Amino acid sequence: MKLATSLVLSVAFVSAFAQNAAKPVEKIFDPSRDAQADLTAGLKLATKEKKRVLIDVGGNWCGWCHKLDKLFKENAEIGKLLKDKYVIVKVNFSPENKNEALLSKFPTIQGYPHLFVLDAKGKLLHSQDTGLLETGPAHDPVKVIDFLKKWAL
């Protein structure tokens, strides 16, 4: 009986693992992109549209990066604030591309994701540890909204 139970549990575990392993990780950061070129384009667009630039630094390996990206996409108020007030520049940080040349111009990042707010001329206005925007196992929409409102034009 113990052998049968162990076998059933083993098959269930392997099956669950295989299903999770088969799910592709959404690529929200692209290590092949030229972060400096993306920032230059973002600054130009921010000048034209009279917006701030929000640099979102993270990697596809980062679970919290996926959580924040999902919140940005699924929360209507946050989505509207981002669309109306910011130009978003995603900057990859991973073993494939740490974007050290660009990121060395900003304060040291302690954790990911990390947000930088720039004016349209490229001046750093704020460096945001997103851990401070969390409550429990997720980013707190109220804290994120307050942050976005505070640094918007």
Q: Does 112 reside within a domain? A: yes
Q: Does 66 reside within a domain? A: yes
* pLDDT higher than threshold 90 for residue 13: no
Residue-wise pLDDT tens digits, 96-149: 999 999 999 999 999 999 999 999 999 999 999 999 999 999 999 999 999 999
Q: Does 8 reside within a domain? A: no
Q: Does 95 reside within a domain? A: yes
What are the structure tokens assigned to 51, written together? Answer: 């917006």
Q: Does 49 reside within a domain? A: yes
Could you tell me the residue range of the domain that residue 77 belongs to? Answer: 27-151
Q: Does 18 reside within a domain? A: no
Amino acid letter for position 47 = T
Q: How many domains does one find in the chain?
A: 1
Cα distances from 64 to residues 33, 113, 119, in angstroms, run 21, 7, 26
- Banded pLDDT at 26 (limits 50, 70, 90): confident
Q: Does 69 reside within a domain? A: yes
From its phi and psi, is residue 22 left (phi > 0), alpha (psi between -120 and 50) or beta? Answer: alpha
Residue-wise pLDDT tens digits, 54-67: 999 999 999 999 99
The pTM for the full model equals 0.84
Contact 38, 55 (CB under 8 A): no
Average pLDDT on 34-59 reads 98
Q: Does 4 reside within a domain? A: no
**Residue that has been written with the tokens 């307050």 in this structure:** 146
| Residue 97's CATH number | 3.40.30.10
| Cα 28 → chain centroid | 8
